[in-house]
Amino acid sequence: MKCDAVVLAAGKGTRLWPFTETTAKPAIEILDRPLIHYVLDFLVHNGVKKPCIVVNYHKDDVIRAVESYGINACFVDQKEPKGTGHALMVAERYVGDDFIVVNGDLFLDPSVVIPSNSILVVNHPHNGEYGTVVLYGQKLVALREKVPGTLINGGVYRLGDSVFDHLHDLAPSPRGEYEITDVLPKLGLDAVVVSPDRWLDVGRPWDLLTATRRALSTLPNRQDGDVSSHATLRGKVFVAEGAEIRGSVYVEGPAYIGPGAVVGPHTYIRKYSAVGRDARVGNAVEVKASVLMAGTHVAHLSYVGDSVLGKGVNFGAGTITANLRFDDRPVRGVSRKLGAFVGDGAKTGVHVSLMPGVHVGAGAWVFPGSVIYSDVPSGARVSGIYTRSDN
């Protein structure tokens, strides 16, 4: 059986550091589901029976994630990172004459339908950080990189096998890669235009917060775990089987508490928060609009706001994530409120302050009493007032 979709899942995702240092981007979890599961939801809704997954970086992560979904898939290794066009070419012998191509790092509304010979276009003004689509009527006529515009290339295409004729004749781009975007305007594709609330490119750490918000909107209000009669749940709160909500806990929905997670006592979980499987949020901790991934511990006397903590992170007592600048300017030019982004296995000692927008690399240690103003490299050991001139 030929594959009827190609998922481009081989890239390193360096912009999503520190989380992609230890995990392939498509395997990073949103509400305890790998990101690629949401891509597969979209493909299944569009009738896909057998996707071909192009892998390379941390490929075992991606393979395990796809296998856990339970779909019949094949995998092909893009042994050298030569661009999206090259990634599609390595899948050529696996596909038929009508197939969907999708980037493996998208969070899509699964109800979006992509018909034959079409491209997904997002109606959203941008300053040049995305590929800009130029249409004549509903036909794609050009794709322009690094140019501001009002239409975004959504990274989803439904193509015929004629695309390979153009790819084989493709010259490398100035950065030495073979780009699928260089051939798409030659294919006479129709545009399927969607609003930005139905599409998200999970390219930066703070995009994990947006993806979590959208995923929370699809969850039911359900408590399968052990919820104390002395806990208060308001709004839509999903408590997975095996989770425990202890006494004097207050949870505002929408919120997610994963399997094996323990929350409380005396804990405040505010809306748009997700506590991953086997995580621990303890006494006098407040979590606001944040993601705590699997196995992370914030045991006591801490504040986590507008932040993402990776897998197996450990916050010492009194660790605070600051999320608002004194001058009220957008943090990293993104949002008025933005906290910390802490890589897998990182640790803080007691009374640590992480300033707005700080990234802490995987496996880093921040010693007690430190104030962190700059990004901490992976595996580093830092203390005191930490500021780097190259940040």
Whether residue 163 is found in the same domain as residue 74: yes
Beta bridge partners of residue 140, listed in sequence order: 135
**Tokens 């997610």 sit at which residue?**
256
Residues in Cβ contact with 200 at an 8 Å cutoff, skipping those fewer than 6 apart: 106, 107, 108, 207, 210, 211, 214
> According to the model, what pLDDT value does residue 246 have?
97
What is the rounded CA–CA span in Å between residue 189 and residue 167?
Answer: 16
What is the rounded CA–CA span in Å between residue 188 and residue 139?
Answer: 6
Residues in Cβ contact with 263 at an 8 Å cutoff, skipping those fewer than 6 apart: 243, 244, 245, 246, 249, 251, 257, 269, 275, 281
Domain edge (last residue) among 180, 203, 226: 203
Whether residue 304 is found in the same domain as residue 365: yes
Q: How far is CA 50 from the centre of its chain?
A: 23
Nearest by Cα to 239 from 282, 275, 281: 275
> According to the model, what pLDDT value does residue 390 have?
62
Residue tagged active-site, from 37, 86, 300, 359: 300
Whether residue 115 is found in the same domain as residue 231: no
Q: Has residue 208 been placed in a domain?
A: no
Instruction: Tell me the CA distances in angstroms from 185 to 84, 92, 358, one per residue in order.
Output: 15, 20, 40
Whether residue 65 is found in the same domain as residue 127: yes
Q: Has residue 210 been placed in a domain?
A: no
Q: Has residue 209 been placed in a domain?
A: no
Q: How many domains does the chain have?
A: 2
Domain edge (last residue) among 142, 172, 203: 203
Q: Has residue 156 been placed in a domain?
A: yes
Whether residue 191 is found in the same domain as residue 297: no
CATH number at residue 152: 3.90.550.10
> Which runs of consecutive H residues, i.e. helices, occur in the chain?
35-45, 59-69, 84-90, 163-168, 207-216
pTM, full prediction = 0.96
Whether residue 50 is found in the same domain as residue 115: yes
What is the rounded CA–CA span in Å between residue 70 and residue 104?
Answer: 17
- Report mean pLDDT in 10-residue bins for the chain, 391 residues: 96 96 97 98 98 97 98 96 93 96 96 96 90 94 91 96 92 84 95 97 97 97 98 98 98 98 97 98 97 97 98 98 94 94 98 98 98 98 88 55
Nearest by Cα to 151 from 180, 136, 130: 130
Residues in Cβ contact with 146 at an 8 Å cutoff, skipping those fewer than 6 apart: 128
Whether residue 25 is found in the same domain as residue 164: yes
- The amino acid that residue 40 corresponds to is L
CB 31 within 8 Å of CB 38? no
Whether residue 183 is found in the same domain as residue 250: no
DSSP SS3 for 89: helix
Instruction: Tell me the CA distances in angstroms from 197 to 46, 113, 186, 214, 361, one per residue in order.
Output: 19, 15, 29, 9, 30
CATH number at residue 339: 2.160.10.10
Peptide bond into 18 cis (omega under 30): yes
> According to the model, what pLDDT value does residue 12 have?
94
CB 216 within 8 Å of CB 255? yes
What is the rounded CA–CA span in Å between residue 59 and residue 76?
Answer: 10
Q: Has residue 300 been placed in a domain?
A: yes
Angle among Cα 86, 157, 177 to the nearest 5 degrees reads 20
Whether residue 290 is found in the same domain as residue 354: yes
Look up 37 and say whether it is catalytic. Answer: no
Domain edge (last residue) among 177, 203, 229: 203
In terms of residue numbers, what domain contains 49?
3-203
* Other CB atoms within 10 A of residue 174 CB: 5
Whether residue 333 is found in the same domain as residue 298: yes
Sheet with 273-275: strands ordered across: 222-223, 237-239, 255-257, 273-275, 291-292, 308-309, 341-342, 359-360
Whether residue 240 is found in the same domain as residue 184: no
Peptide bond into 254 cis (omega under 30): yes
What is the rounded CA–CA span in Å between residue 16 and residue 58?
Answer: 14
CB 352 within 8 Å of CB 320? yes
CB 166 within 8 Å of CB 179? no
Whether residue 166 is found in the same domain as residue 262: no
> According to the model, what pLDDT value does residue 11 have?
93
